[in-house]
Amino acid sequence: MKKEEALRVLRDRGQEQLLRFYDELSPSERDNLIGQIERIDWETVALFDHPEDLTGKGRIAPLKGLDVGEIAQRKAEFLSVGKAAIGAGKVGAVLLAGGQGTRLGSDAPKGTFNVGITRTVSIFERLMCNLKESNSVCDATVPLYIMTSEKNDRETRAFFEQNAYFGYPASEVKFFVQETAPCVGTDGKILLEEKGKIASSPNGNGGWYASLLQAGLGEDLDKRGVEWLNVFAVDNVLQRIADPVFVGATIAEGVNCGAKVVRKTCPEERVGVLCLEDGAPNIIEYYEIPKETAAARDERGELLYPYGVILNYLFRVSRLKEMEKARIPVHVVKKKIPCLDEAGNPIMPQTENGYKFETLILDMVRLMGNCLPYEVVREREFAPIKNKTGTDSVESARELLARNGVEL
Ligand code: UTP
């Protein structure tokens, strides 16, 4: 593509501001910018003007899960099924580490964050310890796939290398980079991060399977005979990964997907709620669930919609393959986006100044057709680090780690 053609493409879409500083760029910067323009997914950008209606309209109903009591009663059965599957190499793990961790306010990959007090303990180290624990119970080495983003891939890989993969065999750890989407201002115009660089961001955690395939790792799954993938967030330092009891329960119940959940502390708690919508599993975000639904109780006084998701799912690979071409909805989310102003000066916004386009893993659960809510004890398995202080913060996670006997 030449400048004239790029200009025509941009004019047709009212986006010619992207070439505002073209004449100031070096020849290689110019080529690079034109390349970025060529790769813009205009269908996604058009969602700014015509966003999909993502508020559930279907009939919401409770989804029966396995509660802590039932899991305890059937633990031996689940453990034996899970151990057999993990021991036979049928389970892989996927760490979602492509997020930007803006709430934590650090530019480094979130997993490199030090949660230690008297010694250095990175988030990645905690997660690898948790995974190794499951491995030792099952006498296996679960292959680990780590999703990074263009922004943090190099640093993440280097961190694993510097730390000798935290004692994990390097051959069992594979990295892949998730795709990005352009960011737009509140007027829908695509923003520039530098004079020759479009502002872009990772396209949300719902793109993990497509990005894994894009990186050629589908073959790796097939070669190894991986039938289940345990997908988990980078920021929950207490979670069990490739937990054999969870794996066994999901397999024994014959579903395509299992979701670790915690019992909500109150109807208003800000967690996504796992339920049914028109008969299919669905996760409703806390800001979308009607108040009366969130507060509804059964005859024993228990919440009808008690299960909050913690972003730890088990997906059946054959179902993922069947749904490979299915479209995952794109959410248009207001965020703070560093960019250039019209004069080319960099802006570090203090308030939201634009939108990112993101797909969410919770929308994948619906595509699985069915899902088992699997309750875990919050104090033992849920210590997310989202913020610097307060709720779901470094402070609260440190306290929970200490309570679980982890030396910091
Ligand atoms: P969050 O929704 O907490 O987003 O991600 P975040 O980017 O880490 O943090 P904030 O909102 O900017 O503060 C939940 C999980 O999904 C991953 C994150 O790395 C985390 O493990 N994620 C999120 C991705 O892998 N890619 C994305 O594009 C977004």
The CATH number of the domain holding residue 369 is 3.90.550.10
Q: Are 340 and 332 in contact (CB under 8 A)?
A: no
33 and 174 share a domain? no
Does 7 score more than 80 pLDDT?
Answer: yes
d(CA 286, CA 56): 12
CA dist 126 and 350 (Å) reads 32
Confidence check: pLDDT of 55 > 80: no
As a whole number, mean pLDDT of residues 47-52 equals 87
Closest CA relative to residue 256, chosen from 323, 207, 328: 323
pLDDT of res. 104: 87
Q: Are 15 and 132 in a shared domain? A: no
- State the pLDDT confidence band at 56, using cuts at 50, 70 and 90: low
pLDDT given at position 116: 94
Task: Give domain status of residue 408, yes or no.
Answer: no
Q: Is the pLDDT of residue 155 over 80?
A: yes
Residue scoring higher pLDDT (43 or 106): 43
Q: Whose CA is nearest to atom 2 of ligand 1?
A: 99
**Cα 146 to ligand 1 centroid, rounded to whole Å:** 13
CA 74 to ligand 1 center in whole angstroms: 34
Please say whether the beta carbons of 156 and 109 come within 8 A. yes
Verify whether ligand 1 is closer than 6 Å to residue 207 (CB atom).
no
* HEC string for 122-156: EHHHHHHHHHHHHHHHHCCCCCEEEEECCCCHHHH
Q: What is the spatial order of strands in the sheet that 331-335 belongs to?
A: 184-185, 354-358, 331-335
Please give the distance, rounded to the nearest whole angstrom, from the Cα atom of residue 252 to the centre of ligand 1: 31
Shortest-distance Cα residue to atom 25 of ligand 1: 98
Residues 305 and 351 in one domain: yes
Residue 14 vs residues 18, 46, 182, 243, 357: alpha-carbon distances, Å: 10, 11, 15, 51, 18
Gap between the Cα atoms of 260 and 238, Å rounded:
13
Ligand 1 center–CA 25 separation, angstroms = 33
* For ligand 1, mutation pick of 96, 103, 107, 153 (most atoms within 8 Å of CB): 96
Measure Cα distances from 170 to 85, 110, 145, 176, 289 in Å: 22, 21, 11, 14, 43
In a domain, 301, yes or no: yes
Q: Which helix (H) or strand (E) is 384 found in, with range?
A: none
Q: For residues 201-221, give the mean pLDDT.
A: 96
Residue 378, φ and ψ in degrees, nearest 5: -50, -50
Q: Is 235 in the pocket of ligand 1 (CB under 6 A)?
A: yes
Q: Are β-strands 144-148 and 173-177 bridged in parallel, bridged antiparallel, or unpaired?
A: parallel
CA of 386 to the centre of ligand 1 (A): 9
Would the CB of 373 count as within 6 Å of ligand 1?
no
Q: Is 177 in the pocket of ligand 1 (CB under 6 A)?
A: no
Check whether residue 62 and residue 101 sit in a common domain.
Answer: yes
The model's confidence at residue 57, banded by pLDDT at 50, 70 and 90, is confident
User: What's the CA angle centered on 172, arms 171 and 176, to 5 degrees?
Assistant: 95
Segment 132-137 shows an average pLDDT of 97
Tens digit of pLDDT for each residue in 236-266? Answer: 999 999 999 999 999 999 999 999 999 999 9
Taking residues 131-149, report their average pLDDT: 97
Q: Shortest CA distance to 260 belongs to which of 249, 270, 269?
A: 249
- Spell out the alpha helix ranges (H) of 74-122: 75-87
In a shared domain, residues 141 and 22:
no
Q: Which DSSP helix (H) or strand (E) runs through 313? A: strand 307-316
- The per-residue pLDDT for 106 is 83
Question: Which of these ranges, 37-51, 149-163, 254-268, has the smallest mean pLDDT?
Answer: 37-51
Q: Is the pLDDT of residue 123 over 70?
A: yes
Which of 234, 285, 336 has most ligand 1 atoms within 8 Å of CB, for mutation?
234
In a domain, 142, yes or no: yes
Place of tokens 């669905």: 282
Specify the residue with its C-alpha closest to ligand 1, atom 22.
99
At 157, the pLDDT band (50, 70, 90 cuts) reads: very high
Domain count of the fold of the chain:
2
Q: Confidence class of residue 143 from pLDDT cuts 50, 70 and 90?
A: very high
Kindly report the protein residue whose alpha carbon is nearest to atom 5 of ligand 1. Answer: 99
Would you say 202 and 149 are in contact if contact means Cβ atoms under 8 Å apart? Answer: yes
Q: Are residues 30 and 80 in the same domain?
A: no
Mean pLDDT of 384-390: 92
| 315 inside domain | yes
Answer yes or no: do 6 and 97 share one domain: no
Helix (H, G, I), strand (E, B) or coil at 84: helix
Is residue 205 lining ligand 1, measured as CB closer than 6 Å? yes
Which residue, 68, 408, 67, is CA-closest to 238? 408
Based on the domain organization, do 217 and 354 belong to the same domain?
Answer: yes
d(CA 177, CA 208): 9
At residue 258, the 3 state secondary structure works out as strand
Could you tell me if residue 49 is inside a domain? no
Q: Going by DSSP bridges, is the β-strand pair 307-316/228-233 parallel, antiparallel, or unpaired?
A: antiparallel
Which structural domain range is residue 256 located in? 56-403
Same domain, 5 and 79: no
Same domain, 316 and 364: yes
Give dist(CA 324, CA 330) in Å, integer. Answer: 16
Kindly give the residue spans of alpha helices, DSSP state H, lying in 163-316.
208-214, 217-224, 244-252, 291-295
Q: How confident is the model at residue 100 (pLDDT cuts 50, 70, 90)?
A: confident
- The residue whose CA has the least distance to atom 15 of ligand 1 is 233
Q: d(Cα 82, Cα 322) in Å, to the nearest integer? A: 24
Q: From the CB of 148, is ligand 1 less than 6 Å away?
A: no
In short, whether 272's Cβ falls inside 6 Å of ligand 1 is no
> Which residue type, as a one-letter code, is found at position 185?
G
Determine which of 272-281, 282-291, 350-359 has the lowest per-residue pLDDT on average.
282-291
Do 71 and 23 lie in a common domain? Answer: no
What is the average pLDDT across 395-407? Answer: 94
Measured in angstroms, how far is the CA atom of residue 113 from the centroid of ligand 1? Answer: 14
* Residue whose CB lies within 8 A of the most ligand 1 atoms, among 104, 110, 205, for a mutation test: 205
- Residue 236 Cα, ligand 1 centroid: separation in angstroms? 11
Q: Are strands 273-277 and 60-61 parallel, antiparallel or unpaired?
A: antiparallel
Burial category of 186 from C-beta neighbours within 10 Å (exposed 0-12, middle 13-18, buried 19 and up):
exposed
Q: 201 CB less than 6 Å from ligand 1?
A: no
pLDDT tens per residue across span 179-193: 999 999 999 999 999
Closest ligand 1 atom to Cα of 201: 28
- Tell which atom from ligand 1 comes closest to the C-alpha of 208: 25
Of 239, 304, 242, 302, give the one whose Cα is nearest residue 273.
Answer: 304
340, 267: one domain: yes
Residue 144 lies in a domain: yes
Atom of ligand 1 nearest to the CA of 147: 25
pLDDT above 70 for 267: yes
Task: Please give the mean pLDDT across all residues of the chain.
Answer: 95
DSSP for 308-344, please give it. Answer: EEEEEEEEEHHHHHHTTTPPPP-EEEEE---EE-TTS
Token output for 242: 């490739």
In this predicted structure, what is the pLDDT of residue 105?
82
Q: Is the pLDDT reported for residue 230 higher than 90?
A: yes
